[in-house]
Amino acid sequence: MASASLSNAAAAAMHLIDYADPAAVKQVPTRNGFGEGLVEAGRRDENVIAICADLSESTRMEAFKKAFPSRYIEIGVAEQMLVAMASGLAATGKIPFIASYAMFNPGRSWEQVRTTMALNEMDVKIAGAHAGVSVGPDGATHQAVEDIAIMRVIPKMTVIVPCDSVQTKQATLAVAARFGPTYLRFARAESAVITTDATPFEVGRAQTFRDGSDVAIVACGILVYNALVAADRLAREDGIECRVVNNHTIKPMDEAAVVAAARDCGAVVTVEEHQVHGGMGSRVAEILAAQHPVPIEFIGVQDRFGQSGNPQELVEEYKMGVSAIYDAAKRALRRKQSRT
């Protein structure tokens, strides 16, 4: 039976924080990593610019604004123009990062994202802040839980959902150096920091954070931490060894890693802070339906809108907490065993 976190070979190889020790796990919003990464990207390339829809502090573009005032544009509450302006600037060789709440960009600006940005393959990076129900008290109008679905369906669009603030910084730097229309999704609330600067990150390459062969838990975003804690509980209490995959790139997804996890474990649980319809789990199911069908359980928002509340209480209310993942893994294992 594997013991907690760093004694696990996969966790050690990934240079993870000791996630099973609450005292060792810092809580930092993923949006902070975006702000730090954007400033560093600006230092590395003078073509990086930032355009914001009146939310520079909330989206953490404020630091870029102070560091590079001549390369920052405040457009106001005009998300559709935000995309159109960025696409025009990208056509001149600039690398625009555009930021708003995910519910408004890409939510409100989807047609411009599709036609002006993606159809023309403009090198624009959308920073979708405050995604998921963990936005908390802002409520359903500001809680984007459909955005992965509407973005992954757009041709040429890259979609990335980092697992913590450190990885969000890494992802920001990676997409700044990588050509093409991109959606980077991150959250508002404080969440566990489980990676370090030494943890590798590559767009399109999933990461195995924990070894196991009984059930594969394929997760993205801040819920990767819940998946790791659930996996340790399953090992400790039930002798069930779960592989935990940080599937941070939704598109292009690492199909080889997904298929390998399904083949090695024989059952899969997908975990995301998003509607179960059309999100990361749906893409995993599409891949496995074509290449290696296995029993799948889906953790996410089950055809509901969000509501106001404490971020962690909302994660629990929408059945995305540790206990929900624990139960789903046991269901997946039973379904696997019933097939043999």
Which CATH number does the domain housing residue 273 bear?
A: 3.40.50.920
Q: Is 49 in the same domain as 181?
A: yes
- Residue 3, pLDDT above cutoff 60: no
Q: Which of 192, 215, 240 is the last residue of a domain?
A: 192
Per-residue confidence band for 258, with pLDDT thresholds at 50, 70 and 90: very high
Both structure tokens of 187: 């959250």
What is the rounded CA–CA span in Å between residue 98 and residue 107? 13
Say whether both 48 and 188 belong to one domain.
yes
For residues 263 and 257, give the distance between their C-alpha atoms in angstroms, rounded to a whole number.
Answer: 10
Rounded CA separation 62/35 (Å): 8
Would you list the DSSP string of 170-222?
Answer: HHHHHHHTS-S-EEEE--SSEEE----TTS---TT--EEEE--SSEEEEE-TT
**pLDDT beyond 50 at 5:** no
Q: What are phi and psi of 239, to 5 degrees?
A: 70, 20
Question: 54 and 160 share a domain?
Answer: yes
Whether 14 and 89 share a structural domain: no
CA distances from 13 to 1, 35, 48, 142, 209 (A): 19, 27, 33, 37, 8
Give yes or no: residues 11 and 83 share one domain.
no
Query: Which of 101, 309, 126 lies closest to 188, judged by CA?
Result: 101
Task: Give me the residues paired with residue 208 across strands.
Answer: 245
Q: What per-residue confidence (pLDDT) applies to 8?
A: 81
What is the CATH classification number for the domain harbouring 161?
Answer: 3.40.50.970
For residue range 102-147, list pLDDT tens digits in order.
Answer: 999 999 999 999 999 999 999 999 999 999 999 999 999 999 999 9
Angle at 183 between CA 17 and CA 104, to 5 degrees: 110
The model's pLDDT over 63-97, given as tens digits with 9 standing for 90+, comes to 999 999 999 999 999 999 999 999 999 999 999 99
Amino acid 33: pLDDT? 98
Please give the pLDDT value at position 39: 98
* Same domain membership, residue 127 and residue 102: yes
Query: What is the pLDDT confidence band of residue 340, given thresholds at 50, 70 and 90?
Result: confident
Q: Is the pTM of this model over 0.85?
A: yes
Say yes or no: 169 and 251 in one domain: no
Q: How many domains is the chain built from?
A: 2
Q: Are residues 33 and 176 in the same domain?
A: yes
Pairwise CA distance, residues 328 & 315, whole Å:
15
Dump pLDDT digits (tens) for 229-246: 999 999 999 999 999 999
- Is residue 309 pLDDT above 50, yes or no? yes
**Domain limit, last residue, from 192, 224, 241:** 192
Residues 235 and 281 occupy one common structural domain: yes
40 is catalytic: no
Kindly state whether residues 106 and 130 are assigned to the same domain. yes
My answer on whether 186 and 138 are in the same domain is yes
pLDDT of 304 reads: 98
pLDDT-derived band at 7, boundaries 50, 70, 90: low
pLDDT in tens, 172-221: 999 999 999 999 999 999 999 999 999 999 999 999 999 999 999 999 99
| 271: containing domain | 5-25+200-338
Q: Give CA–CA dist 337/340, Å, rounded.
A: 5
Look at residue 81 in the predicted model and tell me its pLDDT. Answer: 97
Same domain, 66 and 11: no
Tell whether the model's pLDDT for residue 6 goes beyond 90.
no
Q: Which of 146, 163, 192 is the last residue of a domain?
A: 192
Contacts of 169 (CB under 8 A, 6+ apart): 33, 34, 36, 37, 40
**Model confidence band, residue 50 (pLDDT cutoffs 50, 70, 90):** very high
The pLDDT, as a whole number, for residue 4 is 43
Q: Is the peptide bond before 252 cis (omega within 30 degrees of 0)?
A: yes
Number of alpha carbons in the 13 Å side-chain half-sphere of residue 65: 17
Tell me which of 36, 57, 74, 79 is the catalytic residue: 79
Instruction: List the structure tokens of 27.
Output: 């809580």
Instruction: Quote the tokens at residue 253.
Output: 């997804």
- Mean residue pLDDT across the chain: 96
